[in-house]
Amino acid sequence: MEPYEFLDHPGPIPFAHRGGAKGQPENSMPAFQRAVDLGYRYLETDVHATADGVLVAFHDRTLDRVTDQSGPIARLPYSQVGKARIDGTEPIPLLEDILGSWPDVRVNIDIKDEPALAPLLRTLHHTKAWRRVCITSFATRRLIQLRARLPLYTTEPVCTSLGPRGVMALRARSAGGPAGKLVRLAATGVACAQVPYGLGPVPFVTDTFVQGAHDLGLKVHVWTVNRPAEMDRLLDLGVDGIFTDDLVALRHAMAARGLWDGLVRG
């Protein structure tokens, strides 16, 4: 059995990116519900904190792109953020809403801004969801701070991913670089590398990258993959998870290989 309950899954993990942004408004409760209805047991979302410390599941730092309101979330009270509607129709959910609505679902959480760190720890403590989550960030510093604070809140094993510095070290390792730093990270709660499938036209995830990660005991989860041909390429390489907006396409790609039926609900 995996040391982290979050990763205890037979076969590659299908992740519903922002709930599955193709089909319903991203990071909305209908998007998450659609993913669950399609059989997804893993949801991906992002978190920000409002000015008064309320933790919301939302990708951008500002409301402008996808809601009918504007302004930076970190500078607005929840009384204002709560009035915003995604695509003009759906309220922004709290992370606690997602964790509570589907207690058997696992959630990959991207910390988008430093003010969200303390509210996230409080939310996970309140919901006792430590084993159901994997925490990542595009800021290495946030992940260092998270890992330093975790012992103050829980003794549970909490899955986290490599930050950008670790990902680049892993990429260098796949080209023959040293592995010392990555071995140390793997021993301190880092269980996976969550990486883009490519950088422009150049593949980021290659056979040597996947093998190098696996040699260090790290899982490889790849984002955000919406083309069936790329899904097939990554599955051929033996990746351990794929994030997608196109829930139906990934389900079909995995079902064609016998990786869906019986492995996830639905």
Active site amino acids: 17, 59
Which token pair is 110? Answer: 């991207």
Please tell me the distance from the alpha carbon of residue 240 to that of residue 234, in angstroms, as a whole number: 9
Pairing of strands 241-244, 219-223: parallel
Whether residue 61 contacts residue 113, with contact meaning beta carbons closer than 8 Å, is answered with: yes
Q: What is the CA radius of gyration of the chain?
A: 18
215: nearest Cα among 179, 161, 187: 179
52: nearest Cα among 31, 71, 74, 37: 74
- The maximal CA–CA distance of the chain, rounded, in angstroms, is 52
Question: Going by C-beta distance under 8 Å and a sequence separation of 6 or more, which residues neighbour residue 177?
Answer: 169
Q: Alpha-carbon torsion 88, 127, 243, 212, what sign?
A: positive
